[in-house]
Amino acid sequence: MPSNKALAGPIYSILFEGTHEGTAFELLDWIRKRATSKKLREMTTEEYARLLVSDAPYFLPQSLLQAVEKNSYPSDFDRALWYLSEMPASGVRILATAQVTS
């Protein structure tokens, strides 16, 4: 089960099969469940996020990878969503982010 931190954080608007809003965890979970690969669908969202980050060197140009690695992210899910959005073949694009204030 994801930590409360995974369910908190910025709210993203993404373009992928239409527009969608949610936390990085919620969006990665939604994307993972729609994957064409059975292996990806059977992963947990945590495993999927780790896979995205570990596979980034294979899917991102080195100069872009170095740039996104320098950024700080509120969680590993946020990092994974940003990496996914930078992968040209993913089709996922971040349109906007908003910080949630209590």
**pLDDT tens digits along 22-32:** 999 999 999 99
102 occurs within a structural domain = no
Among the listed residues 19, 10, 2, 3, the one whose alpha carbon sits nearest the alpha carbon of residue 81: 10
Tens of pLDDT, residue by residue over 92-102, are 999 999 987 65
71 occurs within a structural domain = yes
75 occurs within a structural domain = yes
57 occurs within a structural domain = yes
41 occurs within a structural domain = yes
Q: Residue 2 pLDDT more than 60?
A: no
- pLDDT of res. 9: 82
Please count the structural domains in the chain: 1
86 occurs within a structural domain = yes
70 occurs within a structural domain = yes
Q: Which domain holds residue 20?
A: 4-97
87 occurs within a structural domain = yes
3-state helix, strand, coil in the chain (%, to 5): 55, 15, 30
With a CB cutoff of 8 Å and minimum separation 6, the contacts of 26 are 7
pTM of the model: 0.88
